[in-house]
Amino acid sequence: MALKRLIEQSPIFDIYQKVISEKRISEDDALRLFQTNDIHTLGLLANTIREKKNNNYTYYNINRHIDYSNVCSVSCKFCAFSRFKGEEGAYEFTIDEICKRAKAALDQEHITELHIVGGLHPDYPFEWYENMLRALKHTVPTVHLKCFTAVEIDFFANKFDMTYEEILKRLKEAGLDSLPGGGAEIFHEDIRKQICPGKATADQWIQVHETAHSLGLSTTATMLYGHIENYRHRVDHLRRLRELQDKTSGFQTFIPLAFHPDHTALDQFARPSGIEDLKTLAISRIYLDNFPHIKAYWIMLGIKLAQLSLSFGVDDLDGTVIEERIYHMAGADTPEIMTVSQLQKLIREVGRIPVERDTLYKSLKVQEIALV
> Is residue 331 helix, strand or coil?
coil
Contact pattern for ligand V47 over residues 307 through 346, marking x by CB under 6 A: -----------x-------x---x----------------
Beta bridge partners of 197: none
| Residue 297 touches ligand V47, criterion: CB under 6 A | yes
Which of 82, 178, 218, 307 is the binder for ligand SF4 (CB under 6 A)? Answer: 82
> Are 170 and 130 in contact, with CB atoms under 8 Å apart?
yes
Question: With respect to ligand SF4, which residue has the nearer C-beta, 121 or 170?
Answer: 121
Give the rounded distance of the alpha carbon of 208 from its chain centre.
16
CA quadruple 341, 345, 351, 352: dihedral positive or negative?
negative
By CB atoms closer than 10 A (0-12, 13-18, 19+), residue 330 is buried
Instruction: Specify the residue, 15 or 326, whose C-beta has the smaller distance to ligand V47.
Output: 326
The Cβ of residue 17 has, within 10 Å, a number of other Cβ atoms equal to: 12
Other beta carbons less than 10 A from residue 104's beta carbon: 14
Residue 353: name its binding partner from ligand SF4, ligand V47, none (Cβ under 5 to 8 Å by kind).
none
- Is residue 349 helix, strand or coil? coil
- Write out the binding residues for ligand V47, residues 132-161 only, by CB under 6 A: 149
Q: Give the separation between CA 87 and CA 50, rounded to whole angstroms.
A: 45
Specify the stretch interacting with ligand SF4 by CB under 6 A; choose among 76-84, 215-223, 317-325, 353-361. Answer: 76-84
Binding mask 135-174 for ligand SF4 (x = CB under 6 A): ----------------x-----------------------
Q: Which of 43, 119, 180, 302 binds ligand SF4 (CB under 6 A)?
A: 119
As a 3-state breakdown, the chain gives helix, strand, coil percent values, each rounded to 5, of 45, 15, 40
Binding-site member from 33, 62, 76, 167 for ligand SF4 (CB under 6 A): 76
Q: Which residues bind ligand V47 (CB under 6 A)?
A: 78-80, 149, 180-183, 185, 220, 222, 224, 255, 257, 259-260, 264, 297, 318, 326, 330
